[in-house]
Amino acid sequence: MTKYSKFKDYMRNSFMQYALILISFIFILFIISMVVNLKLFAIKTNKSSNEKVSAFFENQYDIYYKNIGELSQNNIIKEFVLNKKNSTDAFTLLYNFSNSQGIKSNFVLLDKDESIKATNLYKANCGSFTNSIEVKNIINKLKKEKDKILTTTNRAQYNNGQRSNYIFAKCIADNDVIIGYLMLQLRETDLNNIILNTDADIISITDNFDNVIYSNNNNIVNSIGKYNPDMNSSNIAYINGKAYYTTINDNIKSNIKVITMTSIAMQQKFLIFGITIIFIIGFFVIILVIFLANKMTNKNINAINTLLEAIDKCANENLQYRIDLDTFEEFKILYDKFNNMMTKVEYLINKNKEISERKRIMEIKHLEGQLNPHFVFNVLETLHYEILLNPQEASKMLVSFAKLMRYSINYGSTEVELKIDIEYVSNYLMLQKIRYNKRLEYYINIDEKLMKCKIPKLIIQPIVENSLVHGMKDSSPLTVNITGEIVENKIELSIEDDGQGIEKKEMQKLLNILNDEYAMPEHIGLYNVNRAIKLMYGDIYGLDIYSKHSSGTKIVLKIPIVEGEDNVYNFSC
C-alpha cells in the first residue's frame, strides 16, 4: 500500500483510484449484461427452437415409419396393385393419410414393374420422379431388403409446391413375392411452415451422413448437398463472415440431425461498440476527476489547515483559542468537537489542580496530626518505659514510628499499592494500641488479591483516625475492623468501629458537607478523602457512611480496581 506524505496527494490519488474502480465496475457490468443477453436471447432461444423442431420432426418420422409399414400390408393396396380393384378406395386411403399429417407428403404407388399406379404428384412431376436417381437406388435396395423400411434424401426437382427432399419407401409383398412399391415423400412447404414459427435464424435437417434433408439457407449446403459450414468451435459457425451460435441435436433415434443457428453478429458489434464507448467515457472521466480532485482537495486542505493552526496555538498553551469558520457541515462538526475538547481540557486541568490541592491539604493535615506534640510525647514516654522493661518491644515500636514518619513526609506518587498503605495503617494502629492499651483492639482482614491494587496514598488512615477521635469517649474500649473485598467490579474498603456513633443531626450535617463539591472545611478529614476519590476516579466512587448513635460507625470506601499504571475496571486483582 502506497504511503503519502501529504493529504492532498492522498486525496487526488484516491479520487483517481475510485474513478478507475467505478469504470471497471461499469465495464464488468456491461460484460455480464452481454453474457446474460447472449444466453437469454441467443443460446436459450436457439436451444428452444432446436428442441421444438426436433420434437416435431421426430414425431412425424415415427408416424410415417409406422404407417408406411401398415399401408404396405393393407389388403386394399395389395388388391389394387395386383388386380387394379378398389382403385378409389386405395387412392382415398393414401390421400387421407398424406393430408392428415403435420408434414404432408407426395405418395407414389408402383407395381412390380416400377410403373406408377397411383400418386398425388402432378403429371409434370411424375417424370422427375421416374428419372430420379435416388428413387432408382432405393428400389434396388428394396429388392434386396424387402422386409425393411428404407429412407433416403431426394433431389428430384418438383414444381407447384410438391418439392420433397426425404423419402420413406417399403415393398408391397404377397406371399413373400414383391408385387409393388410404396413411397411417401415429405413436402418441403410444410416444413417451411413449421420453421417460420421458430425463433432461430437458420434451421437445417440432415441425415447421419450430413446429407441435407431441409435447410432454409442454402449457404450452408455445399455442391453435393451436404451440410458444411465454417466452424471454428463446437458452437460457433460462420456464414459469409457472420457468426452464428449453433445447436446440433444428433440424439434423435431416427439418425436425423436438427441444426439450428442464431446470429450473434449483432451482439458482437454491440460488444465492440460498448467497450469502445466505455473506454472513451473512462478517458474523459479520468481527466475530469483530476481537475475536480484538485479543486475539492484545495478546499478541504484549507479547512484542515485551520484545524492544524488551532492545534498549534493550543500546543503553545493558548487554551482559550476557538475555531470559528464557515465550511462544510462535517468540518463544522469537527471544529465543534475540537472546541468542546479544549473546553474539557481546560476543565480537566483545573480539576487536576484541585485534585493536587486536595491531596496536598490531606497530606499536610495528616502530617500535622502525626507530628502532634502530644502524640509524639506519648509515644516517646511509652518508649522510655518499654526500653527499661521490654527492650525488644521498644525496638519494634521505634521501627514502626520511624516508618510512620517516613511514609507521612514522602510526597511521591499519589497512588500506592494497598499493601503499602495497610502497612502504614498497621504501624499507626500499633502505636495507638501501645498508647491506649486494652482500650483499643483492631483487626485487619484484606483479601490477598487486593494487595497489589493501587489506591490513593493516605486514604485509609484519616478514616481510622476519625474512628479513634470520635469513637473513643468516656474511657470506653474501642474495636476497629478494617476489611477489603471486590464488590461489583469495585474495591470496597470498610473501616468499622463499635464506638459512640453519630447522632442523627450531626450525621445529616456531615452528609451535606460531603455532598457539597465546593465546600472547603478545615477540620473534616472525611470530606477530603471523599472529594479526592471523586476527583480522581469519578462521581460513582467515594465513601458511604453508616452510623447510629451508641451503635458504632461504618465507613465504606469505594474505588475502582487499578493495577499498575492503567485502570482496569473489569479486572480482578
Cβ partners under 8 Å of residue 569, min gap 6 = 489, 560, 561
- Indicate the pLDDT class of residue 553, thresholds 50, 70 and 90: very high
Domains of the chain, start order: 73-191 (3.30.450.20), 412-567 (3.30.565.10)
Question: Which is more confident, 539 or 572?
Answer: 539
Which one, of 286, 113, 114, lies nearest residue 183 by Cα? 114
Q: How many CA atoms lie within 13 A of 64 on its CB side?
A: 30
What is the tens place of the pLDDT at every residue in 261-301? 888 877 777 778 888 888 888 888 888 877 777 776 766 66
What is the tens place of the pLDDT at every residue in 372-421? 555 667 677 777 777 877 787 778 778 777 777 777 666 455 788 999 88
Q: What is the Cα–Cα distance from 477 to 457, expressed in whole angstroms?
A: 29
Q: Pairing mode, if any, of strands 440-446 and 478-487?
A: parallel
Which percentage of the chain shows pLDDT scores above 70?
Answer: 83
pLDDT average, residue stretch 337-354: 77
Residue 571 has pLDDT above 50, yes or no: no
Would the CA dihedral through 470, 473, 475, 477 be positive or negative? negative
Backbone phi, psi, residue 69, to 5°:
-70, -40
Residue 182 has pLDDT above 90, yes or no: yes
pLDDT average, residue stretch 349-354: 77
Number of H helices, E strands in the chain: 15, 20
DSSP-derived secondary structure letter, 506: H
pLDDT average, residue stretch 545-555: 89
Query: DSSP letters of 417-469?
Result: EHHHHHHHHHHHHHHHHHHHGGGEEEEEEE-GGGTTSEEETTSSHHHHHHHHH
What is the tens place of the pLDDT at every residue in 451-510? 999 988 888 988 988 888 888 776 788 999 999 999 988 999 999 999 888 888 888 888
Helices 391-408 and 418-436: crossing angle, nearest 10°? 130
- Indicate the pLDDT class of residue 68, thresholds 50, 70 and 90: very high
Q: What are the angstrom distances between the C-alpha of 23 and each of 282, 286, 512?
A: 6, 9, 70
> What pLDDT, on the 0 to 100 scale, is given for residue 566?
45
Q: What is the Cα–Cα distance from 112 to 135, expressed in whole angstroms?
A: 14
